[in-house]
Structure 1
Amino acid sequence: MEISKIKEILNKPIYFSLNKRHLSIFLKQFAVLLTSGITPDQAIYILKDQREIKSLNYSLNIIYNDLNNGDYLSLAFSKHKIFDDFLITMIKTGEESGKLSTVCDKLAEYYEKEDEISKKIRGALTYPLILFITSIIVLFFVFKYVMPTFTALFESSNMALPFLTKLLIKISEFINKNFIIIIIVAVLTIILFIVGLRKNKAFKKRIDYIKIKFPIIGKNYIKILTGRIARALSISYLSGVDFIESLEIISLGTDNLYLQEKLENAIYEIKQGTSINEAFNNTNILPQLFNSMIEVGEETGQLGEILEIISKYYKNESDYAIDSLLRIFEPIVIIVMALFVGAIVISIAVPMFDIINNYNY
């Protein structure tokens, strides 16, 4: 291989996904520069070498060159996968309306809030997940190393064992005989689940459906999804994007495929003449309050203002929903693991007391 080819490969940038926090910071800085009177190409030039993330650094350099070659900002952004369709459409709207700095400032707030929610969700799930994984490891250790010791003791006593003790002994024997197979199956199951979510749309849509319909948890998850839709609709509609177009972009950008399908159905119904409120009601997902307020905005001609009110309301609802999820997950995991531990303790303690009593007699 030629040296020039090797250099080309080595110098090729490694792409990292651009998280919402970095996107918010970039947009905020970009908006400040535009407000101060600097042109978009000059603003990009100033920012293109200041970011630490290589994917953004590299993209901004190309965008700067494209702007100098006559491309519109939205077109230059659209050539890079790190920027989503919602962002690109909003940038285009800002260009056409002459309010690019205002739009970028609103987008910065939007992605900042999205980043806050993502962090809160991760924070809410981290402790229960760590607790669950730790408990599983402890249970495996007990079944593989502790139970066999007591099993030998119980068998040597030739006494009748309670049903629970027999059951746990069977589980312990099964784990010890098939330990390697169990580990392999568990790892493969996790890998297949992750791959299925990423590659199989039907499987992911089914999981997304379960997340929405799952008792108690689903209601809180819907509040979070509704908050995202409300914020995106508020920003796009108030910036001059047509409501249907805004909804189409939001639909394509949603991570929940089941909700995406329902939103696509709602868009089709609205295009056929159905009212926004009725179309949203037919999704059987979005809260009635959200749909009713949309109807009020539609009837009064103040949809933009109503969307802004809804956005603020569901911002607080999203925060409350995340806190509720934490309050739900943590005790559930603790209770389930306590039941397992309690069952193990009882299954060992009862026969041990019987053995001690028999020995005393």
Structure 2
Amino acid sequence: MPGWRCLINTLVDDIAEGESFSDVLRHYPQVFPTLYPTLVAVGKMTGKLDVCCQQLAAQQEQQLQLKKKVKQALRYPGFVLGVSVTLSIIMLIWVLPEFASLYEAFETPLPPLTQCVLALADVVAHRALLLLTLPLSIVLGYPVCRARPIALRRQEERFLLKIPLLGTLIRGEALSYLFTLLALTQRAGLTLPAGLTAAPTLPYVAYQEALIPILRNIEQGDSLQQAMTPYSRLFPPLVHN
């Protein structure tokens, strides 16, 4: 990939100018999270740089496998939902208007529910372009809006965590990421607080914000179990035990 080749060449040039590998990685936090330069620095000090790099590669592979499993788990429900929405739109635009003309020929009052459905079909048939443009605009514009205000991401995560299946998948991904990081830092010889300092690279705002007081409580003498107890919504009882 041209982008990665350019980045690697830049890293080589910076190292050739006298900077350490870990310091060079810190110049690109959008590519290398906090954990990467931290483990590289520890590996260099302990003479186990190759082991630390192998652990980072294994962690990255595990994260990719987990993301694939999550996507596969959501693929079938997403397909069913898409087919259902498509069939509903087809029914509202083409099928129900035919029934409406048939009911008009009877000249009899229709039940309220049937009238509501026919009214919805009429709106969809005459405002189809608007109804298609609005969701498309939301889908395209939401990622741009979401990337800026943390408050929006926080509210989104609170909503998603309350959804039974999706909330379980999000917690599983976040906890897998967190404890994989802690395992890597422990193997590299870092203390638990140092490992938690690297853990805020989690891709979820709720866990990033929860780890700040957890780290503070551990530094004040609490155990990891005690520090996580107030956040049972993010860390299930199995994690505490």
TM-score, normalising length from structure 1?
Answer: 0.62
Q: CA contact under 8 A between 2:70 and 2:169: conserved in structure 1?
A: no
1: CA distance between counterparts of 2:206 and 2:60?
23
Structure 1 residues 269, 213: closer, same or farther in 2, change over 3 A? farther
Where do 1:16-95 residues align within 5 Å?
53-80=1-28, 81-95=30-44
Residues 151, 169 of structure 1: 8 Å contact kept: yes
Deviates further, 57-66 or 219-228 = 219-228
Corresponding residue number in structure 2 for 1:232: 181
**CA apart distance, 1:220:** 4.2
Residue segments in structure 1 that go unaligned for 5+ positions in a row: 1-52, 293-361
Asked if the contact 1:196/1:204 (under 8 Å) is kept, the reply is no
Q: 2:239 aligns with which of 265, 276, 290?
A: 290
Q: What number of residue pairs does the alignment pair up?
A: 239
CA distance in 1, matches of 2:155, 2:218: 26
- Tell me the CA shift for residue 124 of structure 1: 1.7
Contact 2:218 2:224 (C-alpha < 8 Å) held by counterparts:
yes
* Residues 291-330 of structure 1 mapped to structure 2, 5 A cutoff: 291-292=240-241
Task: Provide the aligned C-alpha RMSD in A.
Answer: 1.8
Distance across 1 between alignment mates of 2:134 and 2:11: 47
Q: Which whole-Å CA distance do the structure 2 matches of 1:173 and 1:283 have between them?
A: 49
Q: Confirm or deny that 1:104 pairs with 2:59.
A: no
Identity of aligned residues (%): 20
Aligned structure 1 segments of 4 or more residues deviating by more than 4 angstroms: none
Q: Is the 8 A contact 2:160 2:167 kept in 1?
A: yes
Indicate how the Cα distance of structure 1 residues 130 and 214 shifts in structure 2: closer, same or farther if over 3 A, else same: closer
Q: State the Cα deviation string for residues 249-305 of structure 1 (Å, max 9, x = none).
A: 111x1111012111112112222333322111122221223223xxxxxxxxxxxxx
How is 1:250-289 mapped onto 2 (pairs within 5 angstroms)? 250-251=199-200, 253-284=201-232, 285-289=234-238
| TM-score w.r.t. length of structure 2 | 0.91
1:140 is matched with 89
* AA aligned opposite 1:246: G
Structure 2: runs of 5 or more not aligned: none
Partner residue, 1:189: 138
Structure 1 CA distance for aligned equivalents of residues 194 and 58 of structure 2? 21
SS at match of 2:81: helix
Show the counterpart of 2:126.
Answer: 177
- The SS at the match of 1:199 is coil
Whether 1:118 aligns to 2:67 is yes
Q: Distance in 2 between matches of 1:236 and 1:265?
A: 20
Q: Which residue of 2 aligns with 1:202?
A: 151
Partner residue in 2 for 1:248: 197
* Alpha carbons 1:90, 1:239 under 8 Å: kept: yes
Q: Which amino acid aligns with 2:87?
A: V
Match of 1:166 among 99, 108, 115: 115
- 1:111 and 1:62 map into 2 onto residues whose CA distance is 22
Q: Which has the larger radius of gyration?
A: 1
- Read off the aligned partner of 1:243 and give its amino acid letter: L
